Chains A and B, each alone.
Chain A
Amino acid sequence: MTTTSLASLASEPLFGLPLPEIWFGLLFFILAMFLFLDGFDFGAGALFAIRDDEHEREQLLAAVGPFWDGNEVWLVVFGGAMFAAFPAVYAEVFTRYYLLMFAILGALIVRGLAPEMYEQREDERWQRWWGRAFVFGSVVAPFLLGLFVGNWMLGTSSIVTLPGVVVGLVVVALTIVDGVAFVRLKTRGSLRTELRPHGQWAVVAYLALVVITLGYVYAAYPTLREKLLSPLVLGLVVTSVVLGGIYVVATRQDRFYTAFVAGGGLVFALVAVVARLMYPTIEPGTGLTVGDAIVSTLPLNVMTIGASILLPLIFLYFAVLYSSFSGPIEAGEGY
């Protein structure tokens, strides 16, 4: 890199782009990717609780087996991107919700370990306990992540707050919506037929919880009312209702891909609502705005160049992974 180009990288944003806003958007995009991809892993884990049949349980594990490592990396990338682009927010939010962050990490540890351990031994007691651990991690991790995002969005000072808890439940419901769609896509037989009603109930519960959350925010946070009633947020809510409808219809008609895509759409709509309610602040607790919190021009440009090369590559890896394991899993494909 020549000195002149380095100097220009240090003095102005790449191509004059609004980089703080782009990174704000990118951060929430990464969060949405994580919630979507690891979301159906969590959902599959939650469904593990209601399926007793050994063969079905093996199928649930086999369905997510090749994917969950890659899916969870989106969380690592989320942390890294936040640290790199908005270090002040990273430090502030993580320190404020200190114990919550550790609870999330604990749940993720249990979630990550359980399926691997479950498969290590055949004996019943071992599998019963690791099965429980798998369910526990799969439900608690998304709940706490929802609690975290809800608190962060509203800038609460304590960890356990009513809106935060409701957002936690919203996220759990959403993971079950996605989990059902994914498992039905990836399996045949009893799982495919018997999970249908669970997906429908989950989507109804999800939409109801979203409405409760938004109603609560409207009542308790007058400063957010204007944003709530903005065409964008209202449009996203309407879109979510439509997607929920598509999900239900597609689930009834066994159009697995359509249901899966609609479930994914719900995740992106939800995250977009959260982002819109925050913007232009990125840390509502201290009122720090996107422009205040962003790193200086040079590292931001370096990161932007890096991300614009690497993100397409990442999509390529995921395309290879998901196409290698496309279609329902077959007998004998184990974890």
Chain B
Amino acid sequence: MLDPVIASRLQFAVTTIVHIIFPVMSMGLAPFLIYFTWKEIRTGKPIYEQLRRFWTRIFAISFVVGTVTGIVLEFEFGTNFGVFSTSAGELFGGPLAFEGMMAFMLEATFLGVFVFGRERVSDALFFVSSVAVGVGTWLSAVWILIANSWMQTPRGYELVTENGDQVVRLVDPMAAYFNPRFFWMYVHMQNSALESVALFMAGVGAYYVFRHHVWGYQVENVGFWETTLKIALVALIITAPLQVIHGDFYARHVFETQPQKFAAMEAVWETESYVPEYIVAFPTSVQDLLDPRAKEIFGIGIPGGASWLASGGDPQATIQGLEEFEGPQPPVAIVFWAFRMMVGLGFWFIVLAFWGGYRWWRGELFQDDLLHKALMASSLLGIVAVHLGWITTEVGRQPWIIQDVMKTSEGVSTGLTGAEATATLVGFVVVYTGLLVLYTYVVVRIIRAGPPAGSDLAVIDGEQPQAPPAEVSVDDDD
């Protein structure tokens, strides 16, 4: 049996890592769906109806799996982190309630209209539904990140003692909700969702374009996939550089507000100035690989790079070392590597964006097989980068559940037994693995089936004659 603290943390890690995939898909897809719906209504071109219907199927399954996995997360605060929930409920519960009432309700009700209502409602209401779904999705992230960012940079509260327990009391909602971290987290997260979906779309589009143009298979609806690839590339060209730019500001913000996390990201042990930015780094002996206190690092670094990054331009800047912080440290190896891989992927996505943009400009977008292969191989890497980013953020702030206020180990429910926590951990690993397999299976099926051949419009109401279904035909060769 695991210790309830360890089991609860692992369980939360497993459930969040799986859950985050689905909101990333919905948040990233939402603006595309609004765009497709708008174009479909304005131009009446079948390609936009196809795009809207195809990507709505993936949105819908992501939303369903996101809902069922998300309810679990909400309840886990009460079941596994009861002490945290009791003492920080005033600050943490509010945003979750607002997420439900303001964002999730909007998204879920209008998704019903958006998925099932094309033939039932007017064009205007249909378009409004697509916008409402998108706004709901993005507002959800606002409230979830308000809750999370408050744990990183808590503001607007005071600590009081109630029945011998320390309780967090809200004194300034605006300061608490719009705490220093919120802005950077939101921008970085939202853009990463768009970038991840752009990469996914580009990979899927490239797969069919590659089959058709490079391998010479006769692919039905190849025009559809070419358009998908182009739209995805546009999105990638916009989002990829932005992600690195605000990522840089975000890192600086971490240095200012969570110096311990920043030191873990750079694996800086002793306070020093002119700290290099290691591109790769290894401890000198193998046993140190798992020892977070390993000091001897062999690596290739840019002199003064980390100092430069932390201070926003001064290579001589001093970085506080991990040894200056009392008590336990975050697992440095995990944070160090997760951060590095995330940044590395971020730059790779920029390379992809410019490579694709260049080929397109040269008129060779559908001919370059190496580009297509790179896009296919990278189609899931956006989501991987999101995972790495969250691992950096969440592992990096350990041992704190609320920075400098409450330790994670103090937040776990007191009545919880190791047996209960272990049983549910095992259960969730099984169930969430199953969910992931099923989701992958369904998405692959949707992609294999390709765009819908045409509107399978039904006769809606005997009394009201409906317009005949729009004829959808797509040029196969182009």
A residues near B, CB below 8 A?
1, 6, 10, 65-67, 69-70, 72-73, 75-77, 79-88, 90-96, 98-99, 101-102, 105-106, 108-109, 112-113, 116-117, 120-121, 295-296, 298-299, 302-303, 306-307, 310-311, 313-314, 317-318, 320-321, 324-325, 327, 330-334
Contacts and interface: CB of A to CB of B under 8 A. Distances in A.
B82 A92 contact: yes
Given A70-B109, A76-B74, A296-B170, 8 more contacts: A66-B116, A79-B74, A80-B98, A83-B97, A91-B78, A108-B71, A303-B94, A327-B461
A70 B71 contact: no
B101 A95 contact: no
A306 B93 CA distance: 13
B71 A75 contact: yes
Contacts of A83: 74, 77-78, 85, 89, 92-93, 96-97
12 contacts: A1-B174, A69-B64, A73-B109, A76-B100, A77-B97, A79-B75, A80-B97, A92-B86, A95-B416, A109-B69, A117-B438, A313-B105
Given A88-B89, A91-B86, A320-B113, A332 B96 contact: no
Interface in B111-133: 111-113, 115-117, 120-121, 125, 132
Interface size class of B (residues with CB under 8 A): 35 or more
Contacts of A332: 456-459
B173 interface: yes
B170 to A, nearest CB: 5
Contact of B90 (A72, A96, A296, A318): A296
Main secondary structure of the interface of A (DSSP, over half): helix
Main secondary structure of the interface of B (DSSP, over half): helix
Contact of A105 (B71, B80, B91, B170): B71
B424 A90 contact: no
B302 interface: no
A99 B86 CA distance: 19
Nearest to B111: A69
Contacts of A79: 71, 74-75, 78, 96, 100
Nearest to A301: B173
Contacts of A317: 105-106, 109-110, 132
B296 interface: no
Interface of B: 60-61, 63-65, 67-72, 74-75, 77-83, 85-86, 88-94, 96-102, 104-106, 108-113, 115-117, 120-121, 125, 132, 169-174, 413-416, 420, 423-424, 427, 431, 435, 438, 442, 445, 456-461
Contacts of B460: 330, 333
B117 A325 contact: yes
A1 B125 CA distance: 35
A311 B98 CA distance: 11
Contacts of A325: 112, 116-117, 120
B445 A95 contact: no
B86 A87 contact: yes
Contacts of A72: 67, 71, 108
Contacts of B109: 69-70, 73, 314, 317-318, 320-321
Contacts of B97: 77, 80-81, 83-85, 303, 306
A331 B96 contact: no
Nearest to A99: B420
Given A116-B61, A298-B171, A303-B97, A76 B104 contact: yes
A302 B78 contact: no
User: 3 nearest interchain CB pairs?
Assistant: A87-B89, A332-B458, A94-B78
A302 B85 contact: no
A216 B72 CA distance: 33
A106 B434 CA distance: 12
A98 B79 contact: yes
Given A298-B171, A299-B94, A325-B116, A94 B79 contact: yes
Contacts of B457: 332
Contact of A321 (B60, B99, B113): B113
B12 to A, nearest CB: 13
A106 B420 contact: no
Contacts of A88: 86, 89
A80 B93 contact: yes
Given A76-B104, A87-B89, A330 B61 contact: no
Nearest to A67: B112
A314 B63 CA distance: 19
Contact of A112 (B67, B92, B415, B424): B67
A77 B100 contact: yes
Given A116-B64, A298-B170, A95 B82 contact: yes
B203 to A, nearest CB: 22
B461 A330 contact: yes
A187 B132 CA distance: 29
A75 B67 CA distance: 11
Contacts of A108: 68, 71
Nearest to A81: B97
Contacts of A66: 112-113, 115-117
A302 B173 contact: yes
Nearest to B83: A91
A112 B68 contact: yes
A187 to B, nearest CB: 15
A99 B445 CA distance: 35
B307 to A, nearest CB: 40
Nearest to A1: B174
B85 A113 contact: no
A69 B63 contact: yes
Contacts of B85: 83, 87, 90-91
Taking each of A70, A76, A87, which has the highest tally of chain B beta carbons within 10 Å of its own beta carbon? A87
A91 B65 contact: no
Contact of A84 (B81, B93, B113, B415): B93
Contacts of A334: 456
Contacts of A75: 71
Contact of A102 (B117, B172, B424, B459): B424
Contacts of B170: 295-296, 298-299, 302
Contacts of B64: 69, 112-113, 116
Given A6-B172, A95-B415, A120-B442, A321 B94 contact: no
Contacts of B91: 299
A310 B101 contact: yes
Nearest to B427: A102
A69 B89 CA distance: 26
B101 A96 contact: no
Given A10-B171, A81-B97, A331 B459 contact: yes
A26 to B, nearest CB: 11
Nearest to A112: B68
B68 A109 contact: yes
Contacts of B113: 66, 320-321, 324
A198 B457 CA distance: 33
B147 to A, nearest CB: 10
